[in-house]
Amino acid sequence: MSEVREKESRLKVDGAVSLIELHETVEYILPDEHYDHPVAVIECIEGIPCNPCETACPVGAIVVGDDITTLPVIDPTICTGCGLCVAACPGLAIYLKQQHHSDGLSYIAFPYEYLPLPEKGQAVTMVDRRGQHVCSGTVVRVIKTKRFDRTAIVHATYDSAFYEDVVNMVRL
């Protein structure tokens, strides 16, 4: 990525966190790490006073610590991919992701707080952190439980060539 593009896409200028910024943070799971199930990817790079992700995790995979402005650190080897942190994060900054899910497809579960909700099997357009259309995707399931408190979690698969870019879908 050229220097200019990097500048343009800084979080505090563009609004979206850039891949360069993400790669520099310890809690981010790099694409070359492979897991056999989707694991939580945390895109929270500012020390805001907040720790619901740590509280929500049933297996202790996420650590914030006593100082709640510390950035959360996830241990993907412990993460079971249950998705509770995805719905708990007030900043909607956590996804479940798996690069090699099946047949050249990546897997994502992301929080979605718009209406209407997509349906299982529906073809949707996946977007990157800047809202750019990246590729098509297929909704695998939509989970909306009382515990998630009106934050729906949409699970989808998409072309793994765009594994890192995709974070959400175009609103319906």
Task: Name the helix (H) or strand (E) containing 110.
Answer: strand 105-112
Least CB distance to another protein at residue 8 (A): 10
Q: What angle (nearest 5°) sits at the alpha carbon of residue 166, between those of residues 127 and 54?
A: 120
Q: Give 48-51 contacts, CB < 8 A, sequence gap 24+.
A: 48/91, 50/90, 50/91
* Residue 148 to residue 64: CA distance in whole angstroms: 21
Residue 90 interacts with another protein (CB under 8 A): yes or no: yes
Residue 143 interacts with another protein (CB under 8 A): yes or no: no
* Residue 130 to residue 121: CA distance in whole angstroms: 25
Least CB distance to another protein at residue 20 (A): 14
Selected binder of another protein within 4, 26, 30, 115 (CB under 8 A): 115
**Minimum CB distance to another protein smaller for 37 or for 133:** 133
Residue 154 interacts with another protein (CB under 8 A): yes or no: no
DSSP 8-state secondary structure symbol assigned to residue 147: G
DSSP 8-state secondary structure symbol assigned to residue 154: E
Residue 146 interacts with another protein (CB under 8 A): yes or no: no
* Residue 142 to residue 124: CA distance in whole angstroms: 13
- Considering only residues 37 through 76, tell me which ones interact with another protein, judged by CB under 8 A: 43-52, 55-56, 67-70
Selected binder of another protein within 25, 31, 82, 128 (CB under 8 A): 128
Residue 101 interacts with another protein (CB under 8 A): yes or no: no
- List of residues contacting another protein (CB under 8 A): 11-17, 43-52, 55-56, 67-70, 88-93, 113-115, 127-132, 149-152, 167-168, 170-171
